[in-house]
């Protein structure tokens, strides 16, 4: 009886797995390419997986992303982005499961906060009846709070509540000036001049102006700092390609009096103001950063760029300031009286509990110890939905929950590029996405057969994920790459094409086994999904060992390539497909599949 014991097994996993360490724009000609040409033809109707892409020979993809980011021909850009997604999906290394929504619980008296499609929660205008403290749990220990170094949603939630950028999102999801009071854009759309507000202060009372942004953006672009998101600044003239280039050449310049900041872009970048609202573009306090113990090593090289935040009580410029970080327990923020909109801030304190055990978090919420939680146990969601409980909120996110392969894992040793691709593709066919959504997700998540989610715009005002006269997805009926339904017969066929043999029971012969170590972070939903994937693969005779770790360790292990297959998820940072494509370039710090490495 397939999956009859799923809920019981998932509970066993949660409690027994051991966490381990470890407008009409001027058209431009594409850049000359003397090597492999980039094809901009649509994928057509060939079956998914028929194009063999070597994930180690990734130069074409890198050049493709560079062309996407430099062209002013928006229609051609859309086709180039489709080509880039085609390449990603042809590797089989990304296995989309569903497209995200964000379900969270908030006490009914909590008003005035807002949530974006990027899963950020803003509490600047929040009120909570006559209470002045909000107790919440977003996740467990964040890897970083430094806005330049953070690459996870939990750290970003803390960043948008404790730092203030040039622009921000309001409750209507409009981009509005923040520390800047005026924004001028040149006629060619490539030079932005931000006029700063008067009287800006850091949380410690120090004056704050455009020079702080110049320092901070050059810091984030500095290869020596090692920000995963440093590529988000590569649209700026003078972006250092490597550590041999001087970051001072970055075309970010504060006026002598600090009242204006000018940024020059390589090409028209329609989403540039969205970037300015993203944490990587947030300012940091130079004296705090460079004066922190452990920042430099004995040779004068940057040793720990995040040292200034790691003990808490760091200087910031947002609605709340950090007043303590007890690692693996809690992080506390209090109202920043020096914030330029301090009159908006009604709450005096945000107290984040750091925990990844969903039953514990839910129990604390039920007991009144938490007022806002971002993790709802799967076995509680069904009842909450049936009861139409108003404290459960479900909002759409632009993002995708997926499974990722480390393309250099030893499990592919001895296989050709085509064989390794087919193994990955077979696993894609084997996973029952609908069952996962129905039994674990339960809040109407959209089944995924693409990496880029529905409703994401393409830069011309249209939705990217659709078949058009210019482009047709390989799986034309569902505008994707693979069928939504589990297809074990196709999975076996693909594996046989790769040289594997099956017995009469439909499972791999012992002479040609496949074993997978599956990495995921502690969370009841992730554990349940791991269990279901393990059952699906077992029907093919593929053995899977689940390996559960805490959140920050999981992040570190993925980035280091210490895994075979892992749970992953990506929520867009702004509404354009390039955000979910550029992360897979060879030099990206978010390229956890290690394409081109």
DSSP string, 481-531: SS-SS--HHHHHHHHHHTT--B-TTSSB-TTS--EEEEEEES-HHHHHHHH
User: pLDDT-based confidence at 466, cuts 50/70/90?
Assistant: very high
Decide if pLDDT at 226 tops 70: yes
pLDDT of residue 379: 82
- CATH 3.10.105.10 for domain 6-15+48-100+397-584, yes or no, is yes
Q: Hey, is 393 helix, strand or coil?
A: strand
Measured CA to CA, the distance from residue 120 to residue 373 in angstroms comes to 13
- Percent of the chain beyond pLDDT 70? 92
Pairing mode of beta strands 392-405, 565-571: antiparallel
Q: Which helix (H) or strand (E) holds 64?
A: helix 59-70
Please state, rounded to an integer, the average pLDDT across all residues of the chain: 90
Tens-place pLDDT, residues 422-437: 999 999 999 999 999 9
pLDDT of residue 143: 87
Higher-scoring residue by pLDDT: 444, 257 = 257
User: pLDDT-based confidence at 7, cuts 50/70/90?
Assistant: very low
User: pLDDT-based confidence at 45, cuts 50/70/90?
Assistant: very low
Contact at 8 Å (CB) between 552 and 310?
no
Determine which of 24-28, 177-181, 303-307, 453-457 has the lowest per-residue pLDDT on average: 24-28
- DSSP states of 458-495 as a string? -SSSSBSSS--SS---SBGGGTBSS-SS--HHHHHHHH
User: pLDDT-based confidence at 50, cuts 50/70/90?
Assistant: low
Give CATH superfamily name and number for 108-366.
Periplasmic binding protein-like II (3.40.190.10)
Decide if pLDDT at 48 tops 80: no
| Residue 421 φ/ψ, nearest 5 degrees | -60, -40
Measured CA to CA, the distance from residue 57 to residue 523 in angstroms comes to 35
Reported as half-sphere exposure (CB side, CA atoms, 13 A), residue 290 has a value of: 8
Segment 394-419 shows an average pLDDT of 94
Decide if pLDDT at 549 tops 90: yes
Residue environment code for 254-265, b if the CB has 16+ CB neighbours within 10 A, otherwise e: bbeebebbbbbb
Decide if pLDDT at 571 tops 80: yes
Segment 134-154 shows an average pLDDT of 93
Measured CA to CA, the distance from residue 306 to residue 294 in angstroms comes to 9
Contact at 8 Å (CB) between 251 and 237?
yes
The total number of residues shown for the chain amounts to 597
Measured CA to CA, the distance from residue 331 to residue 307 in angstroms comes to 16
- DSSP states of 255-281 as a string? -TTSSEEEEEBSS--TTHHHHHTSGGG
Q: Which two tokens mark 216?
A: 């901070």
Tens-place pLDDT, residues 508-535: 999 999 999 999 998 889 999 999 999 9
User: pLDDT-based confidence at 390, cuts 50/70/90?
Assistant: confident
Measured CA to CA, the distance from residue 481 to residue 491 in angstroms comes to 14
Measured CA to CA, the distance from residue 76 to residue 340 in angstroms comes to 42
For the chain, give percent helix, strand, coil, nearest 5.
Answer: 30, 20, 50
Which residues, including other chains, have CB under 8 Å from residue 37's CB and lie 6 or more apart? none
Sign of the Cα pseudo-torsion (311, 313, 316, 318, in order): positive
Segment 190-200 shows an average pLDDT of 98
Q: Which helix (H) or strand (E) holds 180?
A: strand 180-185
pTM, two decimal places: 0.81
User: pLDDT-based confidence at 28, cuts 50/70/90?
Assistant: very low
Measured CA to CA, the distance from residue 247 to residue 226 in angstroms comes to 13
Q: Which helix (H) or strand (E) holds 106?
A: strand 94-106
Domains 6-15+48-100+397-584 and 108-366 share a fold: no
Q: Which long-range contacts (CB under 8 A, 24 or more apart) does 8-15 make?
A: 9/531, 10/378, 10/524, 10/527, 10/528, 10/531, 13/527, 13/530, 13/531, 13/546, 13/548, 14/359, 14/524, 14/527
Q: Which two tokens mark 94?
A: 């990304």
Decide if pLDDT at 120 tops 70: yes
| Residue 132 φ/ψ, nearest 5 degrees | -110, 0
User: pLDDT-based confidence at 443, cuts 50/70/90?
Assistant: confident
Contact at 8 Å (CB) between 341 and 124?
yes
Determine which of 39-48, 83-92, 242-251 has the lowest per-residue pLDDT on average: 39-48
Segment 414-421 shows an average pLDDT of 96
Higher-scoring residue by pLDDT: 379, 83 = 83
CA angle 215–220–226, rounded 5-degree value = 135
Higher-scoring residue by pLDDT: 288, 460 = 288
Tens-place pLDDT, residues 341-362: 999 999 999 999 999 898 999 9
Measured CA to CA, the distance from residue 597 to residue 585 in angstroms comes to 10
pLDDT of residue 51: 74
pLDDT of residue 49: 52
Distance between alpha carbon 491 and the CA centroid of its chain, in Å? 29
- The CB density around residue 285, as the number of other CB atoms within 10 Å, is 21
pLDDT of residue 496: 97
Higher-scoring residue by pLDDT: 72, 227 = 227
Higher-scoring residue by pLDDT: 594, 375 = 594
User: pLDDT-based confidence at 596, cuts 50/70/90?
Assistant: very high
Tell me the domain boundaries of the chain: 6-15+48-100+397-584, 108-366
pLDDT of residue 484: 86
Decide if pLDDT at 586 tops 60: yes
């Amino acid at each position: 009886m397939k999956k009859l014991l799923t809920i019981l097994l998932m509970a066993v996993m949660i409690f027994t797995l051991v966490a381990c360490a470890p407008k009409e724009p001027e058209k431009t000609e594409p850049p000359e390419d003397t090597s492999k040409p980039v094809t901009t033809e649509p994928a057509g109707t060939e079956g998914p997986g028929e194009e063999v892409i070597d994930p180690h020979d990734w130069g074409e993809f890198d050049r493709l992303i560079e062309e996407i980011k430099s062209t002013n021909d928006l229609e051609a850009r859309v086709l180039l982005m489709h080509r880039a997604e085609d390449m990603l999906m042809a590797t089989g290394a990304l296995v989309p499961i569903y497209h995200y929504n964000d379900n969270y619980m908030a006490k009914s008296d909590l008003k005035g906060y807002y949530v974006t499609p990027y899963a950020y929660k803003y509490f600047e205008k929040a009120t909570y009846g006559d209470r002045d403290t909000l107790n919440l749990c977003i996740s467990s220990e964040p890897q970083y709070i430094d806005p330049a170094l953070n690459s996870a949603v939990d750290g970003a939630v803390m960043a948008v509540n404790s730092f203030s950028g040039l622009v921000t999102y309001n409750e209507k999801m409009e981009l509005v000036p923040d520390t800047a009071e005026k924004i001028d854009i040149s006629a060619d759309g490539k030079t932005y001049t931000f006029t700063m507000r008067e009287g800006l202060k850091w949380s410690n009372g120090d004056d704050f102006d455009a020079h702080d942004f110049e320092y901070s953006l050059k810091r984030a672009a500095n290869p020596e700092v090692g920000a995963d998101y440093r590529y988000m600044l590569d649209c700026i003239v003078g972006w250092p390609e490597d550590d041999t280039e001087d970051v001072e050449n970055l075309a970010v310049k504060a006026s002598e009096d600090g009242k204006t900041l000018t940024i020059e872009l390589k090409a028209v970048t329609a989403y540039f103001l969205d970037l300015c609202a993203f944490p990587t573009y947030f300012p940091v306090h130079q004296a705090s950063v460079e004066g922190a113990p452990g920042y430099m090593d004995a040779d004068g090289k940057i040793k720990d760029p995040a040292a200034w935040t790691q003990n808490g009580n760091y200087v910031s410029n947002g609605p709340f300031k950090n007043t303590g970080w007890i690692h693996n327990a809690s992080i506390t923020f209090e109202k920043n009286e020096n914030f330029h909109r301090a009159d908006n801030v009604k709450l005096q304190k945000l107290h984040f509990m750091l925990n990844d055990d969903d039953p514990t978090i839910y129990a604390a919420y039920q007991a009144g110890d938490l007022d806002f939680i971002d993790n709802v146990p799967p076995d509680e969601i069904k009842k909450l939905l049936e009861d139409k409980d108003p404290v459960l909120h479900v909002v759409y996110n632009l993002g995708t929950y997926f499974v990722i392969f480390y393309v250099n894992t030893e499990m592919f040793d001895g296989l050709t590029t085509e064989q390794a691709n087919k193994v990955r593709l077979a696993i894609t066919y084997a996973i029952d996405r609908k069952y996962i959504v129905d039994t674990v997700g339960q809040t109407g998540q959209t089944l995924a057969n693409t990496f880029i989610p529905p409703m994401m715009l393409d830069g011309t005002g249209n939705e990217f994920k659709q078949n058009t006269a210019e482009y047709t997805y390989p799986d034309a009926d569902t505008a994707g790459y693979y069928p939504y339904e589990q297809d074990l017969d196709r999975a076996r066929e693909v594996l046989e094409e790769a040289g594997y043999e099956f017995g009469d029971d439909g499972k791999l012969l012992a002479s040609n086994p496949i074993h997978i170590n599956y990495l995921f972070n502690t969370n009841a939903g992730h554990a349940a999904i791991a269990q279901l994937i393990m059952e699906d693969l077992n029907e093919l005779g593929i053995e899977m060992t689940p390996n559960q770790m805490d959140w920050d360790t999981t992040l570190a292990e993925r980035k280091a390539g210490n895994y075979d297959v892992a749970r992953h998820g990506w929520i867009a940072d702004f509404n354009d497909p390039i955000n979910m494509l550029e992360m897979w370039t060879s030099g990206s710090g978010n390229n956890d599949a290690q394409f081109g490495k």
